[in-house]
Homo-oligomer: A and B are copies of this chain.
């Protein structure tokens, strides 16, 4: 029982192989009735096209490279969900390269021996380096940025200024001193980019125009020990200055550490300490954390479509797709 081929499908449906191929690839010019017949034949035979034959016949790799910093965080997992669902619909494979640090990224970009080059490139979060531009000129590879912005290529990104602003507008209505915690930009990692600066500028802008000052700002690296230390220092200060207080923690991870410490001190979040996070991690709902939800999947999905349109010939100027976070109010405020 050999695997059925496109020939078998064509015979079964009483049409030519060209027609079957057109149905498979959604090339519009197929009449409704014919399309149905072909789809039925495909279903009956349990036909699945051979991707390798497709690649050699089409002269393309039908593969997209996705460059991202790491894939162990919620954010990138969701981002990949969005990217992969869009690429799957268009029958493209995705090759994931978690590059971790600048040297690996540059090694990847500089590599001359990209034997079977991907048809397109998705870069997540990375800032654009000089090497990137050189490589792009050399390879002509269609590229899209996601979670990052540049005016020279298509991009799909979150509006972090707006996210900071939303947090700010809500925070100024809450009682007590105002605090803010940011995430440190590690210089040898490219993936921090301007995300936290943007959140900060949005937040501070609103606070200022509301005539409020932030009592203290903190910067923590993105690990749980540092987050806990920051929480301790912050609460010491807040208790000394008098509760209640309101804290904008620009990443849920930081907010989580703060909630831990609040509980440990017998205080109550949403009464003594108001906490606003950012990310809407899966646990945020359970723990009742007020936070900003980001439509990360949509951002990925849209990025994929920007790239796909380039792949099918679109050649206009760079486009930018901006996504807005949404404030979700829960018990922590």
Contacts and interface: CB of A to CB of B under 8 A. Distances in A.
Contact of A116 (B50, B113, B116): B50
Contacts of A116: 48, 50-52
A21 to B, nearest CB: 15
Interface in A239-253: none
A58 to B, nearest CB: 10
Contact of A52 (B48, B56, B113): B56
Interface string A126-137: 000000000000
A107 interface: no
A5 B57 CA distance: 14
Contacts of A51: 52, 116
Interface in A112-133: 113, 115-116
Contacts of A113: 48
Nearest to A115: B48
Contacts of A115: 48
Contacts of A48: 113, 115-116
Interface string A152-186: 00000000000000000000000000000000000
A55 interface: yes
- Identify which of A52, A56, A113, A116 gathers the most chain B CB atoms within 10 Å of its CB: A52
A170 to B, nearest CB: 38
A33 to B, nearest CB: 28
Interface in A97-118: 113, 115-116
Contacts of A28: none
A221 to B, nearest CB: 21
A67 to B, nearest CB: 19
Interface in A42-100: 48, 50-53, 55-56, 61
A55 B56 CA distance: 10
A297 to B, nearest CB: 22
A51 B55 CA distance: 10
Contacts of A61: 52
Contacts of A50: 56, 116
A92 to B, nearest CB: 14
A116 B53 CA distance: 12
A67 B53 CA distance: 26
The 3 closest A-B pairs by CB, nearest first: A52-B55, A52-B52, A53-B56
15 contacts: A48-B113, A48-B115, A48-B116, A50-B56, A50-B116, A51-B52, A51-B116, A52-B52, A52-B53, A52-B55, A52-B56, A52-B61, A52-B116, A53-B56, A56-B56
Given A52-B53, A52-B61, 9 more contacts: A48-B115, A48-B116, A50-B56, A50-B116, A51-B52, A52-B55, A52-B56, A52-B116, A53-B56
